[in-house]
Each structure stands twice: as C-alpha cells, then as structure tokens.
Amino acid sequence: MAALQPVRGTHDLLPDEARRHRHVEEVARAIAERYGYGEISTPIFEFTEVFSRTLGDTSDVVTKEMYTFTDRGGEGITLRPEGTAGVARAFISGGLSQHLPLKLFYRGPMFRYERPQKGRLRQFHQVGIEFLGVDNPLADAEVIATGARIIEELGVRGTITCELNTLGDGESRDAYRAALVDYLSGHVGALSKDSVERLQRNPLRVLDSKDEGDKRIVADAPVMTDYLNERSRSYFQQVIDGLTALGVPYRLNPRLVRGLDYYCHTAFEFTTDALGAQGTVLAGGRYDGLIGQMGGPATPGIGWAAGVERLAMLLERPLTGPRPIAVIPGPDSVQGLALAERLRRAGLVVEFAFSGNMGKRMKRANKVGARVAVIMGEEEMARGAVAVRDLDSGAQEEVPLASLEGRLAGFR
C-alpha cells in the first residue's frame, strides 16, 4: 500500500543513523561556537517569495525543486530548500541590524524535489553558518576555516578538497558576463536546452551545468580571474593570504560559480572523492547584495551550508552509544526494576530485560554490549549484596548494595 511507504526521497533515521547525524550536528555546532556563532532556528516554511526573490527565478531550486503549496488561508508557502533566505528574512523582520556583526549557526531539514540518489534526498539536513555585517577578506578566510575545522574534527573518509574562486565585485562580474555571453553565443547550437535558456537569463549558471556536452564547451570558456578589476583582485589575494595564514589548503577552481546576482567575491566548495557524483559536502560564498535585495538595510554577508547526510556517510569511526549496565534480577522482577531505577537516577545507563530466566537475560546483556552485569543472586541478596560481573573479562565480585553506585562508576 503506497501510503505505508515513506515518500520517495525521504528516509527514516533509525537509532544508529540518528546518532551519526546528531554527531555531525553537534560537532558542527561546537566548532561554530568556538568561532563565535550562536544558534538560530527559523521555521521550516516561509512565504514563497522569501525563496523566489532571494534564489532568483532562474535557479534550479526555484524552477524545479521547491515544495510549494497554498495553505488553508490562501497563502503561498514553501518548505525551505536552504537556510540562508530564512536567516536573511529573520534578520530583516527581527530588526537584527542593531546587533551587527552577527554570527549565526543553523541546522535542520531542507526540502527539494530532486531525483533521489545516494546522497541526494527530498528531505535532507544541513548545518550552516552566516556571518553578517563584515565586509573583510579575512572574515571570508575565517568562515572557510570554520568549515575546514568541522570536517577535520569529524574525521571523514577520502580526500577533501577546498575549491576556491572569486566572482569579483559587480563591475568585474559584468565584464566577465559580457565575455562569457560572447563566447557561449558562438556555441548555442551545441548547448543543452537548459543552458540556452540560462544563457538568456543567467549566463553564469551555464558554468555550473552538469550536462556533458555543456561541460566540454565550458572547458574552453573565458575565466573570471582574467576579468577582475584591481579591487577584486586584491580582495581575493587577501582571502588567499588569510587561508594560508590559517593553514587551510585550497585549490583554485576558476569554473566554480554561484549563479545569483547577489553573490560576489569569494565562492568555495568542499568536495570529496569518496561519494561519486554527490561529492560536494559543503558550499558557500559571499552575498553582500542579498539582504539589500530582499528589502533590508544593505548588509554584507558570507556563509556556507553542509549536507549532514553526506558528512554522516563519510564518518570514519563507527559511533557507539555508552555501554549499559545490565541489571539481572532474581525471581523478584519488581525488585530488579527498582534497582535499575536507582542506578539510572544516579546517572548510569541501565539495560533491564523484562522477561526471561537469568540465562536469557545474560544473553540479552551481551547482545546489547553491556559492560557489566549486576546479578541479584539469592545468596548475595540475603547478605545485602549483589554479584557484579565484568562482561569483558568474566571476573565477578560481590558488592554490598550500599556501595554499588561507587563500584560501578569504576567501570569504563
């Protein structure tokens, strides 16, 4: 029955996977905190204009991927496809320009109607940061370093590369756009239908095309770096010097773009060779024009977002929860559950099986990876004690009930 299947492109997180996700989010939050970021949580839906105005009506996200609906009050609503637009909206509607500079961290689900594949879902999760109010190349370097440190701290498989480019300021981008349009116009016949359309409306996006034919044409296209004015060149050099000073390796990639008008200067992506086509784990850039374009006070900003699923898939170490203590009751289960409760209230992680004889319950204790078993043997209980068995070594000792918590604290 279709209704009992998860919706295509959605995914249940069972405990092991949920633990990996939580780990990615917690490491990201902790590292971001070190760099001065506080958490912001915006709604998962917004008025559709919040996204259509900021992402532009030529972006893939807006033209093909949004979950948009009319609510019961007739409002056009969209499930957020990304985090920056909502943060910018919150900045404006909350009057946060009084509090600049502002460093915000966010996490949570995003929604895009895409063709599901490994590492590409319709409901996925991102962590991200936005640094508002500072227009300084060293801030760009710090924002990129924050992403690099998070990935480093997580410990991921494969080789991660930070690809870096600049889009320059408005003047440089206009000069480049003209050169690009000139070049691409000579190849319209060979461009994909999508790219012919992009050429009309937003030519920079052609550089981002995933079509193989387009990629061959793009390979010989003029590069942005040749069209930078002095100010933009110097800005980029300072970003590079900053990254070098912070010890963040990077690779220049002149084809890396963000197609939207409000993007400027720094653009970057962290990619891995370990995830096939879905190799981008973190992407971001400077967006000095965004908040002004949305109708807020002109405010520079830079940020990035990272895919939690993709990072979780790359985690090197298996993550395990704390190993429990198994309480194995004698004939009196109530007494057993009460002892488990006492230990839990003391902060210990306790496994208690509700049925089965002692042998079965010991089996269960081993199955859940318990570190020790607290066995409420009749003889020991008569002496006001229990048997504590180290399940790794098999060693067993008698411990008075009165000092049980203290003894258990000694197990790691």
Residues that bind ligand ATP (CB under 6 A): 82, 112, 114, 119-121, 124, 126, 278, 280-283, 305-307, 309-310
Of 281 and 399, nearer to ligand ATP (C-beta) is 281
Find the shortest distance in angstroms from Cβ 116 to ligand ATP. 8
Find the shortest distance in angstroms from Cβ 401 to ligand ATP. 51
Residue nearest to ligand ATP (CB): 307
The Cα-based distances of 20 to 111, 127, 158, 324, 326 in angstroms read 20, 14, 18, 19, 24
Find the shortest distance in angstroms from Cβ 147 to ligand ATP. 11
Of 121 and 327, nearer to ligand ATP (C-beta) is 121
Of 309 and 351, nearer to ligand ATP (C-beta) is 309
Of 82 and 142, nearer to ligand ATP (C-beta) is 82
Of 305 and 372, nearer to ligand ATP (C-beta) is 305
Instruction: Give the CA count within 13 Å in the CB-facing half-sphere of 38.
Output: 5
Find the shortest distance in angstroms from Cβ 11 to ligand ATP. 10
Find the shortest distance in angstroms from Cβ 398 to ligand ATP. 54
Of 83 and 137, nearer to ligand ATP (C-beta) is 83
Of 307 and 324, nearer to ligand ATP (C-beta) is 307
Find the shortest distance in angstroms from Cβ 220 to ligand ATP. 22
Find the shortest distance in angstroms from Cβ 58 to ligand ATP. 14
What SS3 string covers 234-297? HHHHHHHHHHHHHCCCCEECCCCCCCCCCCEEEEEEEEECCCCCCCEEEEEEECCCHHHHCCCC
Find the shortest distance in angstroms from Cβ 51 to ligand ATP. 12
Of 52 and 126, nearer to ligand ATP (C-beta) is 126
Find the shortest distance in angstroms from Cβ 10 to ligand ATP. 11
Of 153 and 174, nearer to ligand ATP (C-beta) is 153
